[in-house]
């Protein structure tokens, strides 16, 4: 690895997840929150992207329940984090179809097999 390139953004993200944190980047030039992680700010083109840990508080921006023939539907949602970035995730703790746009949610680190999975639960449902 070329030492000047540093650690790959996806690897840093993964390391944050493994330690139970949701990482995102903040552009040192324009201040934009950047997610998914990358080596260039898509807003201003700057390369000075610093990692921060999200507090994990957000609002459901869009939601769908994915139906299956042999099991209950599961939720897929887009969540707007209060730091100013959006990510795909799912809302747990309520039936998939009852998740509503505008619901305040909070991060809960789950596992998907060997992988850490950042999911959300409605605020007040506990972490």
Partner 1 sequence: MSLRGKAAVVGVAESDLGEVGPGFTPLDLIGQATLRALDDAGLDKSDVDGLFSASAYHHMPTLSAGEYLGIRPRYSDATSMGGSSFVSHLFHAAAAIDAGLCEVALITYGSTQRSGGGRLVSGSEADPYEAPFNPRYPVSMYALAASRHMYEYGTTREQLAEVAVSAREWARLNPKAFMRDDLTIRDVLDSRMVSSPLSIRDCCLVTDGGGAVVVTGAERARNLKERPVYVLGAGEAHWHRSISQMPDLTVSAAAESGSRAYEMAGMGPEDVDIAMLYDAFTINTVLLLEDLGFCEKGEGGAFVSGGKISPGGELAVNTNGGGLSYNHPGMYGLLLIVEAVRQLRGECGDRQVKSANLALVHGNGGVLSSQVTAVLGSESTL
Closest CB to partner 1 among 4 and 90? 90
CA–CA distance, 71 with 27 (Å, rounded to integer): 42
Smallest gap from Cβ 5 to partner 1, in A, equals 19
* Range 24-45 burial, b when 16+ CB lie within 10 A, else e: bbbbeeeebbbbebeeebeeee
Smallest gap from Cβ 29 to partner 1, in A, equals 20
User: Applying CB under 8 A, does 33 fall inside the site for partner 1?
Assistant: no
Report the largest interatomic distance among the alpha carbons of the chain, rounded to a whole angstrom: 50
Closest CB to partner 1 among 64 and 106? 64
Smallest gap from Cβ 101 to partner 1, in A, equals 4
Q: Which stretch binds partner 1 (CB under 8 A): 25-33, 45-53, 70-78?
A: 70-78
Q: Which x/- pattern, by CB under 8 A, does the window 79-118 give for partner 1?
A: -------xxxxx------x---xx---------x--x-x-
Count Cβ atoms within 10 A of the Cβ of residue 17 and give its class: 0-12 exposed, 13-18 middle, 19 or more buried.
middle
The residues that touch partner 1, with contacts defined as CB under 8 A, are 10, 35-36, 61-67, 73-74, 76-78, 86-90, 97, 101-102, 112, 115, 117
């Amino acid at each position: 690895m070329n030492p000047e390139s540093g650690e790959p953004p996806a690897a840093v993200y993964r390391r944050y997840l493994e330690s139970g944190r949701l990482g995102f980047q903040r552009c040192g030039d324009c201040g934009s929150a950047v997610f998914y992680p990358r080596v260039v700010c898509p807003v201003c083109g700057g390369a000075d992207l610093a990692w921060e840990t999200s507090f994990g508080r957000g609002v459901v921006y869009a939601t769908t329940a994915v139906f299956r023939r042999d099991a209950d539907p599961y939720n897929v949602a887009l969540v707007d984090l209060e730091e100013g970035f959006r990510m795909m995730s799912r809302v747990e703790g309520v039936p998939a179809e009852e998740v509503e746009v505008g619901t305040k949610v909070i991060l809960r680190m789950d596992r998907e097999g060997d992988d850490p999975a950042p999911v959300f639960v409605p605020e007040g449902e506990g972490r």
